[in-house]
Structures are given as structure tokens and as C-alpha cells.
Amino acid sequence: MSVNSAITVNNLIKSVATQEGELTILNGINMDVKLGESVAILGPSGSGKSTLLGLLAALDSPTSGAIFLDGTALHDLDEEGKAALRKNKVSFIFQSFMLVDTLNALENVMLPAELAGITNAKEKAQQMLERVGLSHRLRHFPNQLSGGEQQRVAIARAFISEPKVLFADEPTGNLDSANSDRVADMLFELNRQSDTTLILVTHDLQLASRCQRQLLMQAGQLSEPQADEAEANRSAEAG
């Protein structure tokens, strides 16, 4: 593992038991992401993209193989250790938002900052919500927000702690064009200004093209497509 690596993955396998027998979701994944790099993972639905993202963020455990996040071997950590690693180094933008129903938008965004001991959590949360265009929705609860608004709250929450690694699962999937562009600008601004490593799963080819590198997931295997393969994939996604 290189000292310049944010994430290194060696022969990662993830299998689950089904009624039909064992199903292999990820089959021998190897990857290396440099510190401060931006990487997009593309591929058809069901190919294992979100599963991989959850494993990289220590939200799940592989069947076999090794993951090193910021120099730490995830297989050496218990659940408490993984939780501490996520709190201190990682943010995750979930496709399903994962907001706390009993907290309003401001409180949802404040939560990770308070857990990290940031003293001006309320002020920073207000600033983040303003940046995603929700300064008028601070006191609204998740069930009072549209899907796109909930997504923007989730994005503001992910940004507030300025993580070393930001994982994003379809971060623009529920947004209209204007807000999609705003969120994309935020993602790459954090990547650039804070040297935050950015790894995202997306079907948005325009968003993926802004990343330094694109990887293709197909049938549980990851590859770095050549130009002609990338063009074929773009055509398939567009179609």
C-alpha cells in the first residue's frame, strides 16, 4: 500500500446466501485511490457499485480480501473502531438520504459536527444549508421536505465535517438540473480546497466526467475502461 493512498483494496470478495445458493456480488476487486483524488464508479444497476461503496466506507464487511482506508486496515477494527474511523475521517451521502426523522434540517446537519466536537456547529450547519439553497427550510422536518430537498440536507450534512474521504451514492440522482449543478460544484470544491478524496457512484455521465478517473463495474468486477469502452458505456447508459 502506497503512503499516498487514501484507499487500497486487495482481492475483495463479497458473497451473500440466497435461497438459490451463494451469490457473489463482488468478485476479486482491486483498486487504489490516491489522496485527494476524485473517482467515479459507473456501471449498470445491480452490478455491485453501492455494495462496494458501503464496504469502502466500513459500513459493511467483505467475505474476504482487505481494505485499507487512510492507512488503517479495516479488518483489524471491531465495530466500535469502525464507527470511530467513520466519525473522524469519512462522510457518506446515501441514496436513501438516511436523515433522522425526529430532527429538523438544521439539527440533521448539525449532528455530525456536534459528534465531532465542532464548537460552532449551528453556525456551520446554517452556512451549509444556505449553500445548498435551503436557508428557508432550517426548521422543517424530513417528512415536510421533498425528495430533492432531503437530498440536499444529506449533502450539507456530509460536508459539514470536511472529511478526509467523501463517499457519495448517486448524489445528484434526486435533483433537478440547477441543483444538480450546484451540488456537483460543492463536491469538487471540497475535493479541491480541502484535498478531500471523493469516490462517487453515479449514472450521471456529466458528473462522472468531472472526476479525475472513471471506473466501470460490471458483474461484480471493476475495471478502468479504455477510451472506446468508455464511449460504449456512455452510449449504453444514455440509451
Residue 239's pLDDT is 46
Q: pLDDT per residue over 204-235, tens digit each?
A: 999 999 999 999 999 899 998 765 454 545 45
pTM to 2 decimal places: 0.86
Q: pLDDT per residue over 10-26, tens digit each?
A: 999 999 999 889 999 99
Q: pLDDT per residue over 39-88, tens digit each?
A: 999 999 889 999 999 999 999 999 999 999 999 999 999 999 999 999 88
Report percent pLDDT > 70 for the chain. 93
Give the per-residue SS3 of the chain: CCCCEEEEEEEEEEEEEECCEEEEEEEEEEEEEECCCEEEEECCCCCCHHHHHHHHCCCCCCCEEEEEECCEEHHHCCHHHHHHHHHHHEEEECCCCCCCCCCCHHHHHHHHHHHCCCCCHHHHHHHHHHHCCCHHHCCCCHHHCCHHHHHHHHHHHHHCCCCCEEEEECCCCCCCHHHHHHHHHHHHHHHHHCCCEEEEECCCHHHHHCCCEEEEEECCEEECCCHHHHHHHHHHHHC
